[in-house]
């Protein structure tokens, strides 16, 4: 690998990502704010957040669930969020007995409640197991958010709120998805815990009442 060529590739890729984020801000900024408001309303009403996706999107689902249950920036009480991608026994049992397209919908049926929000992540917008779970969530009375890329695929037509990254490169789409997820976390924390100090350790008793 020639260092000059590699450096040029790095520079071009980072510039492409930065340009895409600026485009995302212009085209999807209001939708990101709306999505964060949906999540905050759900949590304030006693509901929980359900995240799911495949591959890199599965990692994003786990990442975001961890941020809500743990913390993003502020020390505050734990917020209920579940990633449907973490239980290997459920995934393999349902995949073996019912088919891989059922691995998320079965969990929606078991755990979803009308006050919850289901967040499906698919770079193409056409992942069958993500689509089935989102459609089932809607039938059960859950609010639904979809994160997609390209033209949004079928996902954009079956959710309450679709946020479609205006790009076709899977890696760039995934980078924007986690940025959107971080914005969700930040906006929800700022809304629900406006007076909470950032990065200051508090006692478990304080967190329960925060």
- Does any domain span residue 59? yes
Query: Which residue from 128, 106, 117 is spatially nearest to 37, judged by alpha carbons?
Result: 117
User: Which residue matches tokens 């609010």?
Assistant: 143
- Does any domain span residue 104? yes
Q: Quick check: 206 pLDDT over 80?
A: no
Q: What is the arithmetic mean of pLDDT over 102-113?
A: 98
Q: What is the arithmetic mean of pLDDT over 139-159?
A: 97
- Does any domain span residue 168? yes
- Does any domain span residue 2? no
With both helix axes pointing from N to C terminus, report the angle between 3-44 and 170-192 in degrees, rounded to the nearest 10. Answer: 40
Domain with residue 35: its CATH number is 3.40.50.10490
Provide the number of structural domains found in the chain.
1
- The DSSP code sequence of the chain is --HHHHHHHHHHHHHHHHHHHHHHHHHHHHHHHHHHHHHHHHHHTT--EEEEESTHHHHHHHHHHHHHHS-SSB------EEETTS-HHHHHHHHHHT-GGGTTHHHHHHH--TT-EEEEE-SSS--HHHHHHHHHHHHTT-EEEEEEETT-TGGGGSSSEEEEES---HHHHHHHHHHHHHHHHHHHHHHH-TTPPBT----HHHHHH-
User: Which residue matches tokens 């200051």?
Assistant: 200
| φ, ψ of residue 88 in degrees (nearest 5) | -65, -30
Q: Quick check: 201 pLDDT over 80?
A: no
- Does any domain span residue 93? yes
Sorting pLDDT into bands at 50, 70 and 90, what band is 203? very low
What is the per-residue pLDDT for 184? 98
Q: Tens digit of pLDDT for each residue in 39-93? A: 999 999 999 999 999 999 999 999 999 999 999 999 999 999 999 999 999 999 9
For 84, 113, 126, 205, the CA distances from 46, given in Å and listed in that order, are 19, 10, 31, 19
- Does any domain span residue 11? yes
Do the bridges between strand 161-165 and strand 81-83 make them parallel or antiparallel, or are there none, so unpaired?
unpaired
Most confident segment among 2-11, 35-44, 200-209: 35-44
pTM over 0.95: no
- Does any domain span residue 41? yes
CB-based burial label for 194 (10 Å; 0-12, 13-18, 19+) = exposed
- Does any domain span residue 1? no
For residue 109, give its domain range.
Answer: 7-193+200-209
């Amino acid at each position: 690998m020639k260092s000059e060529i590699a450096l040029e590739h790095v520079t071009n890729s980072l510039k492409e990502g930065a340009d895409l984020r600026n485009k995302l801000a212009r085209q999807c900024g209001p939708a990101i704010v709306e999505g964060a408001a949906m999540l905050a309303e759900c949590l304030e009403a006693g509901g929980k957040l359900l995240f799911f996706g495949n591959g890199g999107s599965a990692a994003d689902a786990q990442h975001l669930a961890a941020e809500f249950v743990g913390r993003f920036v502020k020390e505050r009480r734990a917020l209920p969020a579940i990633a449907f991608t973490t239980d290997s026994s459920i995934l393999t049992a349902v995949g073996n007995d019912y088919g891989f397209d059922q691995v998320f919908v079965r969990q929606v049926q078991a755990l979803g409640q009308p006050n919850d929000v289901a967040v499906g992540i698919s770079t193409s917008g056409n992942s069958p197991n993500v689509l089935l779970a989102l459609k089932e969530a809607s039938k059960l009375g859950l609010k639904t958010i979809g994160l997609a890329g390209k033209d949004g695929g079928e996902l954009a037509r079956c959710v309450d709120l679709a946020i479609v990254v205006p790009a076709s490169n899977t890696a760039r789409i995934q980078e924007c998805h986690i940025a959107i997820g971080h914005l969700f976390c930040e906006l929800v924390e700022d809304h629900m815990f406006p007076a909470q100090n950032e990065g200051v350790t508090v006692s478990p008793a304080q967190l329960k009442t925060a």
